[in-house]
């Protein structure tokens, strides 16, 4: 996710956002929306207990029910909290308030490296290294703590107004020991994925090193090393083509910079620096070998026209990317050693890489490095004025007064803004923009209504598709018997066809179970006979694994899941439980007892009782019983008592 923790004016930038203005957990007052990503939205908020400004990263409610996303969210909080590094965006708290799962994070007022590259194109080598080194310090701390970022890119490098560089969005972080993804896809951003991430789904510390090499190339040249019309073409080039030397795009760049990029982006991970600490040492070596003129060389900005300003940002988004390589490239295995790169003999006087530099790198990791890159932001940006709710003419005048151009106008439906007024701007109100940049206006077309389509007799899957095409959502689905609507087709909808509703409204559906079937009684029948009877009625038969004692003969049907006379739909399953035969029960000896007491004892034992009197009304004492007391008899069988006379 691209979470740009910028400094928007608390304003209508979140005009349609239900969280803006709320107090989460009775503590965090949400003031403005800052950035929106695929997994979460970032807001500027105030911690009312400590009275400090912070950023709230709130997971989209639709994902909060997914345990995998929530686990990843919580993992980010725990991982970053353990780092506590000056070049890492800190996490203060993690909690949930109803449907909102959120992280409370450090607020960084500034912009992202992506903003800088989009506005400036290639950077001077000194600026590129001033940004790269604190990034490597942050990643080095993570790597030495046992974590891999897995999604390094310019969107996740924040440059504060004070010049401090920080790494954000550890949402894809993994422990080094569990970095292998065994599924058929990999999370990441196509332009920065290492070959092993694409081909095998593996991402250890060297994958972050590769991504940093690509970011360095982009800072030095103003463009990505591998491009293509589709993400698949970009992935193919990462697998099969070396990252070119930056000097091929920007002539005059020092060879040391070419070598630094080549080392970080070797296609074979075995020959890359093993983690960010090692790459930081190489970066410091390269800086030390460059003269002041080489560090401050002003790069040509030929690539900014149509290359940096207008590039397609779809490749910059974190995505779920299939690992399968297209068939025509699958035979191209990664070479055991990288192809030859441009190298040169060490120049006279160039300092060798020495142990003290590694010691220096460790110190820098502990303390945070550099005085910042404050000069990146100075005098370059303004903020988009608030024009929401104004007419097109009013908004255009205000934007031009701020030195901004008005771009192409769009139109969209809105339940909030009056027809013809501005409902959104791109960039949003309060966002940073280059002083002479262009703002796109979206004008309201007023409220939109949708008519519920006639779905009667449509199969459920088709009915859901038709609702989606009309901009509606399927609601609760219930079932009912029908004499004339086929099974699985829609009987009715609520609201009824032709009813006008707002887009995304839910439509409840009643789906037919078909013509009802009266369930026959098969108790006491053999399995074969009972199965035939039920299948002839249009029902499915299942035999229960366990058997029970019953008066029915062993092996015959003792019970059925739907009783005789119940109504079922065609294809419904009836579960049959088979008999183990009757249970054998001890027979009480009741001879000599009064008839009523004898009957009660026998019935309590599970028998049926029949009483016979030789001379009625002449006595009530049991003379004999048909089954001798002390023996056993089937439960439920009948025992006859004979009553003697006086």
Residue 47: inside a domain: yes
163 touches 371 (CB < 8 A)? yes
The pLDDT tens digits of the residues spanning 298-347 come to 877 634 433 343 444 545 555 545 554 443 333 333 333 344 444 444 44
Residue 319: inside a domain: yes
Rounded to the nearest 5 degrees, what angle is found at the Cα of 226, between the Cα atoms of 220 and 227? 110
Residue 507: inside a domain: yes
Q: How many CB atoms lie within 10 A of CB 165?
A: 27
* Domain match, 501 and 480 both: yes
Residue 334: inside a domain: no
* Domain match, 525 and 614 both: no
479 touches 568 (CB < 8 A)? no
* Domain match, 399 and 527 both: no
* Domain match, 177 and 230 both: yes
From the first residue on, what is the mean pLDDT of each consecutive set of 10 residues in the chain (646 residues)? 39 60 91 79 91 89 75 73 85 86 88 89 94 96 88 91 86 46 51 89 91 97 89 88 94 95 96 96 96 88 42 51 43 38 41 45 48 64 85 92 88 83 88 81 84 94 91 90 93 94 88 92 93 93 92 91 89 93 90 91 92 74 90 90 77
Residue 280: inside a domain: yes
639: left (phi over 0), alpha (psi -120 to 50) or beta: beta
* Domain match, 320 and 428 both: no
* Domain match, 574 and 636 both: no
395 touches 387 (CB < 8 A)? yes
CA 536 from centre of chain: 47
pLDDT at 7: 39
Query: Which residues, at least 6 apart from 359, have a Cβ–Cβ distance to it below 8 Å?
Result: none
Dihedral Cα 480, 483, 489, 492, nearest 10 deg: -60
pLDDT at 531: 94
Query: Which residues, at least 6 apart from 467, have a Cβ–Cβ distance to it below 8 Å?
Result: 453, 455, 473, 474, 507
450 touches 501 (CB < 8 A)? yes
Q: Give the pair of three-digit tokens for residue 413.
A: 């439906």
Residue 348: inside a domain: no
Decide: helix, strand or coil at residue 382: strand
Whole-number Å distance between alpha carbons of 457 and 360: 75
pLDDT at 402: 87
Which of 427, 444, 461 lies at the terminal end of a domain, its last residue?
A: 444
Q: Give the pair of three-digit tokens for residue 358.
A: 């590694």
pLDDT at 319: 52
* Residue 239 belongs to domain with CATH number: 1.10.510.10
Residue 341: inside a domain: no
Specify whether 151 is catalytic. yes
58 touches 102 (CB < 8 A)? yes
* Residue 574 belongs to domain with CATH number: 3.30.10.20
Which of 578, 612, 629 lies at the terminal end of a domain, its last residue?
A: 578
241 touches 341 (CB < 8 A)? no
pLDDT at 512: 94
- The structural domain count of the chain equals 5
CA 640 from centre of chain: 73
* Domain match, 531 and 614 both: no
Domain span holding position 527: 517-578
273 touches 230 (CB < 8 A)? no
The pTM (predicted TM-score) of the whole model is 0.52
Whole-number Å distance between alpha carbons of 17 and 40: 13
Residue 342: inside a domain: no
Dihedral Cα 109, 112, 118, 122, nearest 10 deg: 110
* Domain match, 421 and 524 both: no
Q: Which 8-state DSSP code applies to residue 576?
A: E
Q: How many CB atoms lie within 10 A of CB 34?
A: 26
Burial 224-263 (b: 16+ CB within 10 A, else e): bbbeeeebeebbbbbbeebbbbbbebbeebbbbbbbbbbb
In degrees and rounded to multiples of 5, residue 177 shows phi and psi of -75, -10
* Domain match, 151 and 45 both: yes
Element (H, E) at 600: helix 595-604
Out of 31, 151, 258, 316, the active site residue is: 151
Element (H, E) at 442: strand 438-444
Closest by CA position to 158, among listed 169, 148, 143: 169
Which of 512, 529, 544 lies at the terminal end of a domain, its last residue?
A: 512
* Domain match, 154 and 284 both: yes
* Domain match, 622 and 549 both: no
* Domain match, 270 and 369 both: yes
Closest by CA position to 471, among listed 456, 450, 499, 455: 450
Q: Give the pair of three-digit tokens for residue 434.
A: 């280059």
C-alpha atoms less than 13 angstroms from C-alpha of 609 in its C-beta half-sphere: 22
pLDDT at 357: 47
């Amino acid at each position: 996710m691209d979470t740009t923790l910028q400094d928007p004016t608390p304003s209508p930038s979140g005009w349609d956002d239900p969280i803006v203005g709320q107090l989460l957990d009775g503590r965090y007052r949400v003031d403005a929306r800052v950035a929106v990503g695929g997994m979460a939205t970032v807001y500027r908020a105030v911690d009312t207990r400590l009275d400090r400004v912070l950023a709230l990263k709130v997971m989209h409610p639709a994902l909060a029910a997914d345990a995998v996303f929530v686990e990843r969210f919580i993992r980010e909080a725990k991982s970053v909290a353990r780092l506590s590094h000056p070049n890492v965006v800190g996490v203060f708290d993690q909690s949930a308030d109803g449907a909102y799962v959120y992280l409370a994070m450090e607020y960084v007022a500034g912009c992202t490296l992506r903003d800088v590259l989009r506005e400036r194109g290639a950077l001077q080598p000194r600026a590129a290294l001033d940004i790269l080194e604190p990034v490597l310090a942050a990643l080095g701390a993570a790597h030495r703590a046992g974590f891999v970022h897995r999604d390094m890119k310019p969107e996740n490098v924040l440059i504060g107004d004070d010049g401090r560089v920080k790494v954000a969005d550890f949402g894809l972080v993994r422990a080094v020991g569990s970095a292998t993804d065994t599924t058929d896809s990999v999370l990441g951003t196509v332009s920065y994925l290492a070959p092993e991430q694409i081909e095998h789904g593996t991402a250890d510390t060297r994958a972050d090193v590769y991504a940093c090499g690509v970011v360095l190339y982009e800072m030095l040249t103003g463009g990505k090393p591998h491009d293509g019309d589709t993400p698949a073409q970009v992935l193919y080039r990462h697998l099969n083509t070396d990252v070119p030397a930056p000097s091929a795009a920007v002539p005059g760049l020092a060879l040391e910079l070419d070598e630094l990029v080549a080392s970080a982006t070797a296609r074979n991970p075995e020959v890359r620096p093993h983690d960010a600490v090692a790459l930081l040492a190489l970066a410091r070596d390269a800086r030390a070998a460059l003269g002041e003129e080489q560090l401050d060389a002003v790069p040509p900005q030929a690539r900014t026209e149509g290359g940096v300003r207008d590039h397609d940002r779809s490749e910059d988004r974190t995505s779920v990317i299939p690992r399968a390589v297209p068939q025509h490239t699958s035979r191209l295995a990664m070479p055991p050693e990288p192809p030859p790169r441009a190298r040169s003999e060490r120049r006279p006087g160039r300092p060798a890489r020495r142990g003290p530099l590694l010691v220096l790198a460790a110190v820098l990791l502990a303390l945070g490095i550099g005085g910042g890159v404050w000069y990146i932001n100075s005098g370059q940006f303004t903020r988009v004025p608030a024009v929401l709710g104004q007419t097109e003419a009013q908004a255009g005048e205000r934007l031009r007064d701020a030195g901004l151009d008005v771009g192409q106008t769009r139109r969209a439906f809105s339940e909030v803004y009056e027809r013809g007024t501005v409902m959104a701007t791109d960039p949003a109100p309060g966002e940073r923009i280059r002083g002479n940049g262009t703002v796109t206006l979206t004008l309201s077309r007023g409220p939109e209504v949708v008519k519920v389509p006639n779905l009667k007799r449509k199969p459920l899957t088709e009915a859901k598709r038709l609702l989606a095409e009309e901009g509606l959502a399927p609601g609760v689905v219930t079932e009912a018997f029908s004499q004339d609507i086929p099974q699985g087709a829609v009987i009715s909808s609520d609201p009824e066809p032709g009813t006008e509703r707002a887009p995304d409204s839910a439509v409840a559906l009643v789906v037919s179970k078909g013509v009802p079937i009266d369930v026959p009684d098969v108790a006491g029948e053999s399995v074969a006979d009972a199965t035939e009877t039920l299948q002839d009625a249009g029902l499915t038969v299942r035999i229960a694994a366990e058997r029970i004692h019953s008066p029915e003969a062993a092996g015959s049907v003792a019970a059925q899941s739907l009783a005789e006379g119940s109504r079922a739909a065609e294809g419904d399953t009836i579960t049959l439980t088979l008999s183990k035969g009757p249970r054998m029960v001890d027979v009480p000896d009741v001879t000599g007892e009064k008839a009523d007491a004898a009957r009660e004892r026998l019935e309590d034992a599970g028998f049926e009782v029949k009483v016979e009197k030789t001379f009625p009304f002449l006595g009530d004492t049991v003379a004999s019983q048909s089954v001798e007391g002390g023996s056993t008899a089937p439960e439920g069988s009948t025992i006859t008592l004979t009553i003697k006379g006086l």
